[in-house]
Structure 1
Amino acid sequence: MYHRFVAGKVRQAFAEISAGNWEAMVAGMAPKFTYRFYGDHALSGERHTHEALRRWWERCFRLLPETRFEVRDVLVAGWPWHTKVATAVTVDVGLADGTRYQNVVHQFLTMRWGKITEVRTLEDTAVLERTLDRLAAAGIEEAHAAPITDEVPAAA
């Protein structure tokens, strides 16, 4: 029963993000957490603060507006004090240049008492990097920006 409840909450979180409410996901993070997106591009990096995670989601939706997630699989193991979750999710985005960005995302989460303490996100980075390169070539400089981390950006 607990595993089914957690799987439902994960599916609901992706539905919220698809509806543009990524703040619900940020609110689900524990006070101390690690959010890691693998790769070497504008969306990669590691964050440990709610503020950095908010800035990251804001960038995601500037670069990939109207992102839609379709959850394929949610696997849950463990108990409330140490829960592991694995997901397979497809992502589909209509881009400003008229093309589509489609990829498969795998996330591995650790939860403790209903709060997420760790997220590791793996996506086909070659597909993502080609998309970011196209956006940068179209004049969207942020597509080649440095990853967002916990460091506060310097004033320009």
Structure 2
Amino acid sequence: MYHAIVRRNLRKSFAEVNRGNYPAIVRQFTPTAEHWFSGAHALAGGRHDTRRIQEWYDRLAELLPDLRFELTKVAAKGWPWDTVAFVEWVDHLTDREGNHYSNQGVHVLRIKWGRITELHIYCDTALLADVLGTLAAQGVSQASAPPVGEPGPFRGAVAPAR
């Protein structure tokens, strides 16, 4: 039953992202949560507090205002005090000239008592970097900005729940 609730809450969270309701997402993080996105681009790097996480979502909203996720798999394992969840997805978006793009990836989350303590995002970062390059050429300055937070490796890894 618990894992079904976690999966349902994750689906609701992605529905909030699809609506652009990023404050609802940020509220789910613990104050010292780790938020990490793979690659070397304007959305990459790591953040370790909710202020920086909010800055990242603000940038995401500016860069990809029509970003929409289609979930393909949602899984959760572990206890309420140490849950690991995986969300496999396909996303859809358009650039400023109306060209359509799609990527696929996975979110790996660690959840403790209903709050996100770690979120790691993996996707085709070469494709994303190309999209951001196109956006930069279309005049979107944040598309070529340095990452919000720490570029480079993250401080930890999501380990399987025990």
TM-score by length of 2: 0.89
Contact 1:65–1:95 (8 Å) recurs in 2: no
Structure 1, residues 67-118: CA drift from partner, whole Å, max 9, x if none?
1111111111001010000110111112211111210121110011111100
Deviation at 1:11, TM superposition (A): 0.4
**C-alpha deviation, 1:43, in angstroms:** 0.4
What are the within-5 Å matches in structure 2 for residues 28-67 of structure 1? 28-67=28-67
Counterpart for residue 111 of structure 2? 111
Provide the rounded CA distance (Å) in 1 between the counterparts of 2:49 and 2:32.
Answer: 8
5+ long unaligned stretches in structure 1: 151-156
Secondary structure at the aligned position of 1:103 is classed as strand
Q: Does 1:82 align with 2:78?
A: no
Q: Tell me how far 1:63 sits from its aligned partner.
A: 0.8
Partners of 2:140 and 2:86 in 1: how far apart? 33
| Aligned AA (2:31) | P
SS in 2 for 1:119: strand
Aligned counterparts of 1:95 and 1:137: Cα–Cα separation in 2: 11
Count of residue correspondences: 150
Separation in structure 1 between the aligned mates of residue 112 and residue 133 of structure 2, nearest angstrom: 38
Return the letter of the residue paired with 1:85: A
Amino acid at match of 1:88: E
After TM superposition, where is structure 1 displaced by more than 4 Å over at least 4 residues in a row? none
Q: What residue in structure 2 maps to residue 149 of structure 1? A: 149
Q: CA deviation at 1:65?
A: 0.7
1:31 offset after TM fit, Å? 2.1
Runs of at least 5 residues in structure 2 that lack an aligned partner in the other structure: 151-162
| Residues 1:8 and 2:39 are matched in the alignment | no
How far the C-alpha of 1:144 sits from its partner, in A, is: 0.7
Superposed, which structure 2 residues align to 1:86-101 within 5 Å?
Answer: 86-101=86-101
**d(CA) in 2 for partners of 1:94 and 1:138?**
12
Q: Is the 8 A contact 2:30 2:50 kept in 1?
A: no
Report whether the alignment pairs 1:18 with 2:18. yes
| Identity across matched positions, percent | 37
Give the Cα separation in 1 of the matches to 2:129 and 2:93.
14
Moved more, 111-120 or 133-142: 133-142
